[in-house]
């Protein structure tokens, strides 16, 4: 499906504004989750109270015009956002240990994770996978918040940021932080969460095959897109986690890639591009690529 030639073209850039904590697509719309400037931007486990305000911008997918803005009630700190076509809803991870569920009719519900969530995704069974970095777990919930199972990741998977489950039940997980983690990589992990089947990466670095905080993933037919935050690029890996090419380079980005969303139907890759100055995120935007 993907060859080893060329980088992907930019289709559109959504307006600059506050930092982008999540981006996802649902039906004919793109949802952008924004957060005001945060003095603790590098520390996702810290929770600060937020005033009620518009946090979700909704754009159409054709002309990328703003359709409406939404306020998430009782939010404290965003960490990620994803969507589910089957249940027609959007999920927002909150650092106060809960998940918010937004229906297309504007109804909000929430449930507890009982650990601070990092990245979230939806699997083929339409359940929500919540990656909990500080306890090295993946928790699987039903669409309405019933805990179905939790998996503890192998001991050398330190600070997992995001997990996506493949159709055969295995997990693709990215991990590694700048707090002293010796390994930054992408791993394929067995369906029971116990064994690393294959990995890509190693000690943090900028060379081909290395990462400096691989923070988010997107998967298409087991091809893997990796947001490599401090190297300011998005890398494409094969289903066996072999390097194919760099699909988004620093030349495409103004700042640092922080979140990813892949719209498989429209062949669009949404990359949240955030500005980081002296440990604070001061601005953000979403760049749309054709893949």
Q: What is the mean pLDDT of residues 121-148?
A: 97
Beta-bridge partners for 116: none
Residue 72 is predicted with a pLDDT of: 85
CB 211 within 8 A of CB 201: yes
Residue 253 φ then ψ, to 5° = -115, 145
For 171, the enclosing helix (H) or strand (E) is strand 171-175
Quick one: average pLDDT of 141-168?
A: 96
Distance CA 75, CA 245 (A): 38
pLDDT reported for residue 106: 74
Task: Specify the pLDDT at position 40.
Answer: 46
- For 195, 199, 208, 225, the CA distances from 190, given in Å and listed in that order, are 5, 12, 26, 19
Could you please report the per-residue DSSP string of 49-68?
A: ---S---EEEEETTT--EEE
pTM of the prediction? Answer: 0.92
> Which tops the pLDDT comparison, 262 or 279?
262
Q: Which domains does the chain have, with CATH numbers?
A: 18-290 (2.120.10.30)
């Amino acid at each position: 499906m993907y060859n080893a030639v060329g980088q992907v073209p930019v289709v559109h850039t959504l307006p600059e504004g506050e930092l982008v904590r999540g981006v996802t697509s649902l039906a004919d719309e793109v949802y952008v989750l924004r957060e005001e400037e945060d003095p603790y931007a590098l520390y996702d486990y810290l929770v600060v109270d937020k005033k009620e305000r518009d946090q979700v911008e909704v754009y159409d997918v054709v002309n990328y015009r703003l359709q409406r803005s939404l306020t998430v009630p009782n939010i404290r700190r965003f960490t990620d956002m994803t969507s589910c076509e089957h249940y027609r809803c959007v999920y927002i991870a909150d650092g106060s240990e809960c998940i918010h569920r937004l229906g297309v009719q504007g109804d909000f519900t929430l449930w507890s994770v009982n650990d601070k969530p990092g990245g979230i995704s939806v699997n083929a069974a339409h359940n929500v996978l919540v990656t909990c970095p500080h306890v090295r777990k993946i928790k699987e919930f039903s669409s309405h918040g019933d805990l179905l199972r939790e998996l503890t990741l192998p001991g050398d998977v330190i600070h997992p940021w995001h997990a996506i489950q493949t159709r055969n039940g295995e997990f693709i997980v990215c991990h590694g932080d700048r707090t002293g983690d010796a390994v930054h990589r992408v791993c394929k992990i067995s369906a029971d969460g116990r064994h690393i089947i294959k990995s890509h990466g190693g000690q943090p670095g900028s060379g081909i095959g290395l990462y400096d905080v691989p923070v988010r993933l997107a998967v298409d037919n087991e091809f893997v897109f990796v947001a490599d935050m401090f190297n300011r690029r998005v890398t494409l890996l094969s289903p066996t986690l072999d390097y194919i090419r760099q699909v988004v380079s620093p030349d495409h980005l103004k700042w640092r890639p922080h979140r990813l969303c892949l719209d498989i139907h429209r062949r669009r890759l949404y990359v949240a591009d955030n500005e980081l100055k002296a440990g604070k995120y001061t601005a953000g935007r979403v760049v749309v690529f054709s893949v």
